[in-house]
A and B are shown apart, each in its own frame.
Chain A
Amino acid sequence: MTSIKGDAVAGATRPSLDTVMAADHVAFSYSSAAGAHPVLGDISFTIARGEFVSLVGPSGIGKTTLLRVLSGLMQPTAGEVRLDGERVTEPPRQLALVLQDYSRSLLPWMSIERNVALPLRSAKVARTEVRSRTAAALDAVGLAGDSEKYPWQLSGGMQQRVAIARALAYQPEVLVMDEPFASVDAQTRFDLEDLVLRLRREFGMTVLLVTHDIDEAVYLSDRIVVLAGKPAQVADCLDVPLGPIRDQIATKALPEYAALRGRVLSEIRAASAARTDKKVG
């Protein structure tokens, strides 16, 4: 297995490419009366413009903490996050977030359309532009006919489409998603995965996906960053050379897909086994 040391992981940081986002020796620990609890060790990786990168790791490893640090909702205790070369100290304008729990990120007192338009209105975008961007975003996720409905009148999958439309209308450089499909049924998850792949091709977006679902990570990504250890570190970083166009049936039947899936799974297994051993010993 690859050595567990931030910079040492081959391919994690690629400064030569057109880097949009960079985590540079990011560490995070919670402090309490009992002392500091390190959650994230020394984490470094970069994301190139237009790239689809997944962060995978066993549950409880601190993926959500890392996502909150990367998106500027929390400050790292050491190291820094850079977006377009600038240090991230608060949620940056170039970034849009899609969270797992759509029902807690959409406003139930506003129609779908007003939910999607709200970040633009808050940013004082001109009225006509708000209207056209909102309509285009809802159209792109297939909800053009539902704009007057309220979020709670829609199924879970449709609500997550609204959250994605809101991010699209915001026109971010980087779309960050935290377990976005974990709360919907399997068929809906496939539909949403293909939707995100299509939007990403159409709009040339950079996507960072945080997930515990290895199939999802391999199916969607150009590159997978595997997190392991306690505190969490980058255990491996692998390219997914499956091309830009993917298919739920054909892609998943490819031997390369199976090989990649097996490799990520065994790394995560090894990592969580090591953690269990440590606890027992």
Chain B
Amino acid sequence: MAPLAAPGHVLTWRAFGRLPRLALTVARELWFAVVVLALWWVLSSGSTSFYFPPLSEIWARFQELWLFDRVPTDVWPSLRNFGLAIVLSCAVGIPLGVVLGSLRRVREIVSPVLGFGWALPKLALLPAFIAVAGIGDGMRVSFILAGAVWPILLGAQDGVRAVDPGLRDMARSYRFGRGTLLFRVLLPAAAPQIFAGIRTSLAIGLVLMIVGEMLVASSGLGFFVLQSQQSYALVDMWAGALLIGMLGYLITLLFTVLERFVLRWHFARRAMHAAG
């Protein structure tokens, strides 16, 4: 019997070659954003409003500030704290989630606490974090961590719980060791849900990063935006907000590329099932 054919559109795109395909993907992704920016540029060009300066002014300021004058003082500390907190969230959330997903008894005991931790607005904890951890980078990292760890933990837990009993029987009957079971069966099976969790954590972490900086910092992007507003530098404020938006978008985009690569088996299989 012949193997099933690959989904049609993949073959069609290949015929066009790699480069036009990439250009087309980018165009499809960005055309509407370009339209919105163009409208903003045109409509704001004659603006004399103090609160809504022309985009051309914001863009000029954007270049002065972020290419690359203030990158070491404001952008880098923010991104470093954010990145560190996400890495720590994975390092804590994935192992804990795998353990909880495997041990029903422990999960039943712990799950009300997990639900509470997940539901609690993390901002409510900010005063406690300041009291305990001060206002340095350590506090800012742990504050992001406190919000970002939950989706990863729950994703890993649910992913491991959902592992097919047939796969577990197979693993047992072939006498897989703990390492093989964990790294070749459980983690790959749970990976799609772990990645979905990380995606949510990135969004939550970005918000907590900005808020933390606005409320208790003397550097970073959130601090910059709030301080600009308070010193009536509204062009600076808009330039900062624009950068935060772009960073958020870029982080999500990079993550999507990573996800597509690590889970290529998952996406290819899904495309095939959808096509078949």
How long is the Cα–Cα vector from A257 to B118 in the complex, in angstroms?
65
Give CA–CA (A240, B4) in the complex, Å.
39
Residue A154 CB within 8 A of the other chain: yes
Minimal Cβ-Cβ distance residue in B for A191: B1
Given the known A-B contacts A97-B173, A118-B184, are A108 and B269 also in contact in the complex, defined by CB atoms under 8 Å?
A: yes
Q: Is the CB of B4 within 8 A of A155?
A: yes
B interface majority secondary structure: helix
- Please indicate the chain B residues that have their CB under 8 angstroms from the CB of A109 in the complex: 188-189, 191, 265-266
A96 part of interface (Cβ distance < 8 Å): yes
Q: Report the minimal beta-carbon distance from B182 to chain A, rounded to whole angstroms.
A: 11
CB neighbours of A122 from chain B (8 A): 174-177, 180, 184
Enumerate chain B residues within 8 angstroms of A123, measured Cβ to Cβ.
175
Interface residues of B in 160-184 (CB under 8 A from A): 164, 166-167, 169-170, 172-177, 180, 184
Which chain A residues lie closer than 8 Å to B185 at the CB level? 107
Contact among A104, A105, A119, A152 for B272, CB-based, below 8 A: A152
Determine whether B196 belongs to the interface, using a CB cutoff of 8 Å to chain A.
Answer: no
- Judged by a CB distance under 8 angstroms, whether A99 is at the interface is yes
The residue in A99, A110, A122 that gathers the most chain B C-beta atoms within 10 A of its C-beta is A122
- Indicate if the CB atoms of A154 and B184 lie closer than 8 Å: no
B3 at the interface (CB under 8 A from A): yes
Cβ-Cβ contact count across A and B, 8 Å cutoff: 82
Contacts of A118 in B (CB 8 A): 174, 176, 180, 184
Given the interface contacts A99-B170, A122-B177, does A108 sit within 8 Å of B265 by beta carbon?
yes
Chain A binding site: helix, strand, loop or mixed by DSSP?
A: loop
A101 near B166 with CB under 8 A, answer yes
Residues in chain B near residue A72, CB distance under 8 A: 173
Residues of B with Cβ closer than 8 Å to A? Answer: 1-4, 164, 166-167, 169-170, 172-177, 180, 184-185, 188-189, 191, 265-266, 268-269, 272-273
CB pairs A–B below 8 angstroms (10 shown) = A73-B172, A73-B173, A104-B166, A107-B188, A121-B180, A146-B3, A149-B3, A150-B269, A152-B268, A152-B269
Contact surface of A with B, Cβ cutoff 8 Å? 68, 71-73, 90-91, 93, 95-97, 99, 101, 104-105, 107-110, 118-119, 121-123, 146, 149-150, 152-155, 157-158, 170, 188
